[in-house]
Amino acid sequence: MKFYQLSPQERRAILQDQGLKLADIDDKSLMELNQLSENVIGEIRLPLGVVQNLLVNNRSYLVPLATEEPSVVAAANHGAGIFAKNGGVKCSSDRPGIYGQIVLRVDSNFSQSVFEENFPEYITKANERFHSLILHGGGLRRINAELEADLLFIRVLVDPAEAMGANKTNAILEYLAEQMLAFPGISEKLFAILSNYPSQFARAEVKIDPETIGGQAVAQKIALLSKIAQTDVYRAVTNNKGIMNGVDAVLMATGNDYRAVEAATAVHASQTGYTSLSKWFIAHDKLIGQLSLPLAIGTVGGSIKARSDVQQSFSLLGDVSSAQLAEIIAGIGLANNLAALLAISTKGIQAGHMKLQARNIVATLNATTIEKAEVLAKMIENKNYSEHAAQTILEQIRKEAHADRN
């Protein structure tokens, strides 16, 4: 049997016989994970943190974040706390659908004008074939075509309802392509697949009283940093990474495709030369923050319902639609962005990062829980966050404990 045909336990046995060390996992979890992926031999775990009060459109949310980086969760909570003091973040979303692309080769007998007359029929047939999507409020919405030499580029727009819609869109595209191959002058299908080009957007805006972040001077510095990120690609890419820290964490916690969002976001930031996804500026004595993100996401479909860890995340969020989830994610992105800019504008970014990173260093120590807590407290007190410092403090604690016993 081939490796992929084996049970996960058999795969693990083969790898262990080769001398590889695998982390322990119970059979129940292993078999559940085997239903989700290929060649499964174990799991990678991520901590699930939570933002306690993200106020979006006057509704408070508990927001799950799956990340191993403590500073991301801390920053999101800090930014959300500032938002709450200023009436929360106002968000909107636009979900017309997800793009699909079909490319066909044509010959001299092809007539584009006659072909386009068939678009209403193609839409009707596809929606009849995929009627379940119609029942959920979605469906094939639009078809456009452009002819370049002997290649016909067809773009379709599919409304996936509450799902992200990748699988359903691909199925619709394959069906349409087969129908179109019967049209005179179309000789070959090159491909039929969805496009991750930005099509669904969520927007967030917050108005902040400068006194809630340290005063007018701090607000002006944040606005200046934002202005720099509009034109300086080195600052822009790091600014955007900070935004995506929070965005990706929510996407992972809710079982959404963060790779697709990252790809679309990169295109969105590059439409007129790479720039910042967010804008901060002073208007009417307020610091205004704005963020626009392409978010092709869902609350159903894929592995969302099959994963108990993802369902736990949705239990924290409460009853939310895909549009509301997109707005929440945009709010988190803006909160992380504010926290980062605020840190840069005041004490610098590294101090907070290293204080939180010290937890990871302490976690690797061969020590008791009590000893680890003492080491962490000493590292923070001394503002020394190196592995050497952690080991030195641990040795000192043990030396003092030994002296007390004697």
Name the residue among 155, 158, 144 with its Cα closest to residue 102. 155
pLDDT tens readout for residues 105-115: 999 999 999 99
Out of 10, 68, 94, 241, the active site residue is: 241
Q: What is the pTM for the complete model shown? A: 0.86
- According to DSSP, the β-strands at 286-294 and 186-194 are unpaired
Out of 69, 159, 248, 327, the active site residue is: 69
- The answer to whether 336 and 242 have CB atoms below 8 angstroms apart is yes
Q: What is the spatial distance between Cα 404 and Cα 124, in angstroms, rounded to a whole number? A: 83
Catalytic residue flag (residue 257): yes
Catalytic residue flag (residue 327): no
User: What percentage of the chain carries pLDDT values higher than 90?
Assistant: 83
Task: Give the pLDDT score at 399.
Answer: 80
Tokens of 91: 């968000």
Out of 150, 174, 257, 371, the active site residue is: 257
Kind and range of the H or E element at 91?
strand 90-94
Out of 125, 286, 353, 355, the active site residue is: 353
Catalytic residue flag (residue 378): no
- From the DSSP assignment, how many helices (H) and strands (E) are in the chain? 15, 10
Catalytic residue flag (residue 241): yes
Task: Give the pLDDT score at 391.
Answer: 85
Exposed e or buried b for every residue in 87-108, given b needs 16+ CB within 10 A?
ebbbbebebebbbbebbbebee
For residue 52, the one-letter residue type is Q
Task: Give the pLDDT score at 348.
Answer: 56
pLDDT tens readout for residues 74-99: 999 999 999 999 999 999 999 999 99
Q: What is the spatial distance between Cα 26 and Cα 28, in angstroms, rounded to a whole number? A: 6
In the chain (406 residues long), the average pLDDT of successive 10-residue segments reads: 94 96 94 94 96 97 96 96 98 96 96 97 96 94 96 97 94 97 96 96 98 96 97 97 98 97 97 96 97 96 90 96 98 98 78 66 83 81 80 82 72
Cβ neighbours of residue 28 closer than 8 Å, sequence gap 6 or more: none
Q: What is the spatial distance between Cα 260 and Cα 294, in angstroms, rounded to a whole number? A: 10
